[in-house]
Amino acid sequence: MRDFPSCFGENGVQVADSSSSSSAKNAQNLVNCVYQCRIRGRSCLITVTWSKNLMGQGLSVGIDDAANQCLCKVDIKPWLFSKRKGSKSLEAYSCKIDIYWDLSSAKFGSGPEPLEGFYVGVVVDKQMVLLLGDMRKEAFKKTNATPVTSSAVFVAKREHIFGKKVFSTKAQFCDNGQIHNLSIECDTNGNVNDPYLIIRVDGKNVMQVKRLRWKFRGNHTILVDGFAVEVFWDVHSWLFGTSLGNAVFMFKTCLSAEKLWTSGPISDPNTLPWSFSQRFLDSKSHNSLGFSLTLHAWKNE
């Protein structure tokens, strides 16, 4: 288990050394999405993990309780024809939990998440607690479920991204927020002894770090959609690692990062599921919780 961040300085943040013997070739292309919801009046986290490897796309859905214990989990392997569409019934809190999915018409880009033509639904007591994808009509018809008044809230995302100098992804900085183009550039501009870091949102420079060898860990606040987003970075493994490890970036809104992250350690970046449950569930409301996006950036050799 490794802290991210493990301790906070006056002007920066100590992020655990994320280097490992694994290279970008061995790093799994995956995306974790965490949603907070209530089941039978109890706070829970639903973790949806999209993955991609040489065999194809993968999907898992897990539900954790307030004690950070896994209530139930289902692993789906859509590359097997019979698993691209189906359902799974589980039980927790003395109630029936049904997980439905249809990926038979899903369209994928370069990442593991489908872009369109799919749905994934979590139904509890005939109510749709969580519904992902654009095939909403088909999902409700298949499940015979009714919408809930307070649906699941998107509270965190973790993603592995790959590149040489520029690392790009799509990003939301709050639940149901606008989707932005986010890019991270690390370059030397011809001077290998003086690398710099630039972060862009929708092509606009929002942050630049010069003298990166001296500032390989730190934090800075940017403005996105009119509200503050705290950015933490750790590029130590890029600059000083003995092996090609991954740099780590976190974008955090609303709740102060120190209050959230010093409450406990985070799992190793290659370990699933993402054990954030207790820290999220300790929050009294979704609005005070905010949203966090964590990116593990791997350099292609």
Greatest mean pLDDT range, 2-6, 22-26, 118-122, 211-215: 118-122
Confidence of residue 245 (pLDDT cuts 50, 70, 90): confident
Confidence of residue 267 (pLDDT cuts 50, 70, 90): very low
Whether the pLDDT of residue 18 is over 70: the answer is no
Whether the pLDDT of residue 83 is over 70: the answer is yes
Confidence of residue 143 (pLDDT cuts 50, 70, 90): very high
HEC string of the chain?
CECCCCEECCCCEECCCCCCCCCCCCCCEEEEEEEEEEECCEEEEEEEEEEEECCEEEEEEEEECCCCCEEEEEEECCCCHHHCEEEEEEEECCEEEEEEEECCCCEECCCCCEEECCEEEEEECCEEEEEEECCHHHHHHHHCCEECCCCCEEEEEEEEEEECCEEEEEECCCCCCCCEEEEEEEECCCCCCCCEEEEEECCEEEEEECCCCCCCEEEEEEEECCEEEEEEEECHHHHHCCCCCEEEEEEEECCCHHHHHCCCCECCCCCCCCCCHHHHHCCCCHHHHCCEEEEEEEECC
Confidence of residue 41 (pLDDT cuts 50, 70, 90): confident
Percent of the chain with pLDDT over 90: 44
Q: Mean pLDDT, to the nearest integer, of 28-46? A: 89
Higher pLDDT, 22 or 93: 93
pLDDT at 13: 34
Whether the pLDDT of residue 24 is over 70: the answer is no
Confidence of residue 193 (pLDDT cuts 50, 70, 90): confident
Higher pLDDT, 172 or 270: 172
Mean pLDDT of the chain, nearest integer? 78
